[in-house]
Amino acid sequence: MAITAADVKQLRELTNAPMMACKKALVDADGDMDKAAELVRERTGAKMDARAADRTASEGLVHTYLHAPTPGMPAKVGVLLQLSCETDFVAKADAVQKLAKDLAMHIAAAKPLVVAEEQVDPALLEKEREFARKEAVEQGKPDHIIERIVEGKVKKVYEDWVLLNQPYVLDGDKTVAQAISEVQAIVGEKLEVARFARFEVGA
Protein backbone atom coordinates (compact mmCIF):
# COMPACT_ATOMS: atom_id res chain seq x y z
CA MET A 1 0.00 0.00 0.00
CA ALA A 2 1.32 3.42 -0.98
CA ILE A 3 2.00 5.76 1.94
CA THR A 4 0.94 9.34 1.25
CA ALA A 5 2.14 12.57 2.80
CA ALA A 6 -1.35 12.99 4.24
CA ASP A 7 -1.02 9.63 6.03
CA VAL A 8 2.30 10.66 7.55
CA LYS A 9 0.85 14.02 8.59
CA GLN A 10 -2.15 12.34 10.23
CA LEU A 11 0.02 9.91 12.20
CA ARG A 12 2.39 12.67 13.23
CA GLU A 13 -0.49 14.80 14.50
CA LEU A 14 -1.90 11.78 16.31
CA THR A 15 1.34 10.68 17.99
CA ASN A 16 3.56 13.79 18.00
CA ALA A 17 6.39 11.55 16.78
CA PRO A 18 9.07 12.65 14.26
CA MET A 19 8.07 12.57 10.59
CA MET A 20 10.52 9.83 9.60
CA ALA A 21 9.44 7.67 12.54
CA CYS A 22 5.83 8.02 11.42
CA LYS A 23 6.66 7.19 7.81
CA LYS A 24 8.64 4.10 8.79
CA ALA A 25 5.85 2.92 11.11
CA LEU A 26 3.27 3.30 8.34
CA VAL A 27 5.46 1.35 5.92
CA ASP A 28 6.02 -1.41 8.47
CA ALA A 29 2.28 -1.50 9.24
CA ASP A 30 1.29 -1.60 5.52
CA GLY A 31 -0.59 1.66 5.92
CA ASP A 32 -2.74 0.55 8.87
CA MET A 33 -3.05 3.69 11.00
CA ASP A 34 -3.83 1.87 14.27
CA LYS A 35 -0.95 -0.57 13.85
CA ALA A 36 1.38 2.27 12.90
CA ALA A 37 0.38 4.22 16.02
CA GLU A 38 1.13 1.14 18.12
CA LEU A 39 4.54 0.78 16.48
CA VAL A 40 5.28 4.42 17.21
CA ARG A 41 4.27 3.87 20.84
CA GLU A 42 6.58 0.87 21.14
CA ARG A 43 9.49 2.73 19.58
CA THR A 44 9.12 6.19 21.11
CA GLY A 45 6.38 5.83 23.72
CA ALA A 46 8.49 6.62 26.76
CA LYS A 47 9.73 9.86 25.24
CA MET A 48 6.21 10.92 24.21
CA ASP A 49 4.87 10.11 27.65
CA ALA A 50 7.52 12.25 29.33
CA ARG A 51 6.84 15.21 27.03
CA ALA A 52 3.10 14.94 27.56
CA ALA A 53 3.46 15.31 31.33
CA ASP A 54 4.58 18.92 30.89
CA ARG A 55 1.75 19.97 28.59
CA THR A 56 -1.78 21.24 29.20
CA ALA A 57 -4.86 19.17 28.37
CA SER A 58 -7.41 21.84 27.47
CA GLU A 59 -9.49 19.87 24.94
CA GLY A 60 -11.22 16.54 25.29
CA LEU A 61 -14.60 14.86 25.42
CA VAL A 62 -17.49 13.99 27.69
CA HIS A 63 -18.66 10.39 27.74
CA THR A 64 -21.83 8.97 29.26
CA TYR A 65 -22.39 5.37 30.28
CA LEU A 66 -25.65 3.78 31.44
CA HIS A 67 -25.84 0.32 32.96
CA ALA A 68 -29.06 -1.69 33.12
CA PRO A 69 -28.62 -4.80 35.33
CA THR A 70 -31.65 -6.42 33.71
CA PRO A 71 -32.03 -6.37 29.90
CA GLY A 72 -35.07 -4.41 28.81
CA MET A 73 -35.32 -2.55 32.11
CA PRO A 74 -34.30 1.07 32.85
CA ALA A 75 -30.67 1.80 33.68
CA LYS A 76 -29.80 1.76 37.39
CA VAL A 77 -26.24 3.12 37.19
CA GLY A 78 -24.98 6.09 35.19
CA VAL A 79 -21.55 7.68 34.76
CA LEU A 80 -20.61 11.05 33.30
CA LEU A 81 -16.89 11.35 32.53
CA GLN A 82 -14.75 14.23 31.25
CA LEU A 83 -11.54 12.98 29.64
CA SER A 84 -9.15 15.78 28.69
CA CYS A 85 -6.46 15.87 26.00
CA GLU A 86 -4.53 18.56 24.15
CA THR A 87 -6.34 18.72 20.79
CA ASP A 88 -9.82 18.01 19.48
CA PHE A 89 -8.18 15.89 16.77
CA VAL A 90 -6.90 13.41 19.33
CA ALA A 91 -10.24 13.52 21.18
CA LYS A 92 -11.74 11.87 18.08
CA ALA A 93 -9.12 9.10 17.95
CA ASP A 94 -10.50 5.58 18.35
CA ALA A 95 -8.03 4.81 21.15
CA VAL A 96 -9.20 7.83 23.16
CA GLN A 97 -12.88 7.14 22.51
CA LYS A 98 -12.42 3.56 23.66
CA LEU A 99 -10.48 4.67 26.74
CA ALA A 100 -13.31 7.03 27.73
CA LYS A 101 -15.85 4.23 27.35
CA ASP A 102 -13.72 1.74 29.32
CA LEU A 103 -13.03 4.26 32.10
CA ALA A 104 -16.72 5.03 32.45
CA MET A 105 -17.48 1.30 32.72
CA HIS A 106 -14.71 0.98 35.30
CA ILE A 107 -16.18 3.82 37.37
CA ALA A 108 -19.62 2.21 37.23
CA ALA A 109 -18.19 -1.06 38.56
CA ALA A 110 -15.45 0.11 40.97
CA LYS A 111 -17.24 3.12 42.53
CA PRO A 112 -14.27 5.48 43.08
CA LEU A 113 -14.90 8.64 45.05
CA VAL A 114 -12.26 10.99 43.60
CA VAL A 115 -9.85 11.14 40.65
CA ALA A 116 -6.51 11.64 42.44
CA GLU A 117 -4.95 11.19 45.90
CA GLU A 118 -4.78 14.92 46.62
CA GLN A 119 -8.59 15.09 46.39
CA VAL A 120 -9.11 12.73 49.34
CA ASP A 121 -10.43 14.61 52.38
CA PRO A 122 -7.48 14.81 54.85
CA ALA A 123 -9.89 14.55 57.80
CA LEU A 124 -11.33 11.27 56.53
CA LEU A 125 -7.85 9.94 55.84
CA GLU A 126 -6.72 10.82 59.36
CA LYS A 127 -9.73 8.99 60.79
CA GLU A 128 -8.72 5.88 58.85
CA ARG A 129 -5.16 6.24 60.21
CA GLU A 130 -6.42 6.59 63.78
CA PHE A 131 -8.72 3.58 63.46
CA ALA A 132 -5.94 1.40 62.03
CA ARG A 133 -3.48 2.55 64.73
CA LYS A 134 -6.01 1.94 67.55
CA GLU A 135 -6.86 -1.50 66.23
CA ALA A 136 -3.17 -2.46 65.96
CA VAL A 137 -2.45 -1.23 69.52
CA GLU A 138 -5.38 -3.25 70.88
CA GLN A 139 -3.98 -6.30 69.15
CA GLY A 140 -0.65 -5.77 70.94
CA LYS A 141 1.40 -5.08 67.81
CA PRO A 142 4.90 -3.56 68.36
CA ASP A 143 5.39 0.11 67.43
CA HIS A 144 7.45 -0.48 64.27
CA ILE A 145 4.79 -2.87 62.99
CA ILE A 146 1.95 -0.47 63.86
CA GLU A 147 3.27 2.22 61.51
CA ARG A 148 3.54 -0.29 58.68
CA ILE A 149 -0.03 -1.39 59.34
CA VAL A 150 -1.21 2.23 59.30
CA GLU A 151 0.57 2.96 56.00
CA GLY A 152 -0.86 -0.24 54.55
CA LYS A 153 -4.33 0.95 55.54
CA VAL A 154 -3.74 4.30 53.84
CA LYS A 155 -2.63 2.54 50.66
CA LYS A 156 -5.78 0.40 50.75
CA VAL A 157 -7.93 3.50 51.19
CA TYR A 158 -6.33 5.07 48.12
CA GLU A 159 -6.91 1.89 46.12
CA ASP A 160 -10.57 1.86 47.16
CA TRP A 161 -11.37 5.56 46.85
CA VAL A 162 -9.01 7.01 44.21
CA LEU A 163 -9.74 6.29 40.54
CA LEU A 164 -6.12 6.49 39.36
CA ASN A 165 -4.94 4.12 42.10
CA GLN A 166 -7.60 1.46 41.57
CA PRO A 167 -6.77 -1.86 39.89
CA TYR A 168 -8.18 -1.58 36.36
CA VAL A 169 -11.30 -3.74 36.07
CA LEU A 170 -10.38 -4.72 32.49
CA ASP A 171 -6.86 -5.79 33.53
CA GLY A 172 -6.16 -6.30 37.22
CA ASP A 173 -2.40 -6.37 36.60
CA LYS A 174 -2.36 -2.60 36.04
CA THR A 175 -3.84 0.48 37.70
CA VAL A 176 -6.17 2.93 36.01
CA ALA A 177 -3.29 5.42 35.86
CA GLN A 178 -1.16 2.88 33.98
CA ALA A 179 -3.99 2.14 31.56
CA ILE A 180 -4.31 5.86 30.79
CA SER A 181 -0.53 6.18 30.32
CA GLU A 182 -0.54 3.37 27.76
CA VAL A 183 -3.09 5.18 25.60
CA GLN A 184 -1.30 8.48 26.19
CA ALA A 185 1.85 6.91 24.76
CA ILE A 186 -0.08 5.80 21.66
CA VAL A 187 -1.61 9.21 20.89
CA GLY A 188 1.38 11.26 22.07
CA GLU A 189 -0.72 13.76 24.01
CA LYS A 190 -1.43 14.31 27.66
CA LEU A 191 -4.59 12.52 28.76
CA GLU A 192 -6.24 13.04 32.11
CA VAL A 193 -9.56 12.45 33.79
CA ALA A 194 -10.73 15.95 34.62
CA ARG A 195 -13.75 14.82 36.61
CA PHE A 196 -16.54 12.28 36.81
CA ALA A 197 -19.93 11.77 38.42
CA ARG A 198 -21.47 8.40 39.25
CA PHE A 199 -25.19 7.94 39.85
CA GLU A 200 -26.91 4.84 41.20
CA VAL A 201 -30.58 4.30 41.90
CA GLY A 202 -31.11 3.38 45.56
CA ALA A 203 -27.54 4.21 46.63
- For CATH 1.10.8, the residue range(s) in the chain are 5-52
Which of 12-16, 92-96, 102-106 shows the highest mean pLDDT? 102-106
Residue percentage of the chain with pLDDT more than 90: 39
Angle, to 10 degrees, between the axis of helix 33-52 and the axis of helix 176-187? 110
Binned at pLDDT 50, 70 and 90, residue 48 comes out as low
- Kindly report, as residue ranges, where domains of CATH 3.30.479.20 are found in the chain: 59-109+176-200
CA angle (33, 58, 103) in 5-degree steps = 65
- Rounded average pLDDT over 81-104: 93
Confidence at residue 111, expressed as pLDDT on a 0 to 100 scale = 96
Are 180 and 191 spatial neighbours (Cβ–Cβ below 8 Å)?
A: yes
Q: Which has more pLDDT, 52 or 97?
A: 97
- Residue 44: per-residue pLDDT: 66
CATH number of 121-160: 1.10.286
Give the model confidence (pLDDT) of 103-126 as tens digits: 999 999 999 999 998 899 999 888
Higher pLDDT among residues 155 and 196, named by residue: 196
Domain 5-52's class?
Answer: mainly alpha
* Buried b / exposed e along 27-42 (16+ C-beta atoms within 10 A): eebeeebeebbbbbbe
Question: In terms of pTM, does the model score above 0.85?
Answer: no
As a whole number, mean pLDDT of residues 33-61 equals 73
Q: Report CA torsion sign: 191, 35, 46, 7.
A: negative
Share of the chain above pLDDT 70, in %: 91
Please report the pLDDT score of residue 12 as a whole number.
Answer: 75
What average pLDDT does this structure show over 150-177? 92
Does the pLDDT value for residue 161 go beyond 90? yes
The CATH class for the domain spanning 59-109+176-200 reads alpha beta
Which residue ranges does the chain devote to CATH 1.10.286? 121-160
Q: What's the pLDDT at 4?
A: 86
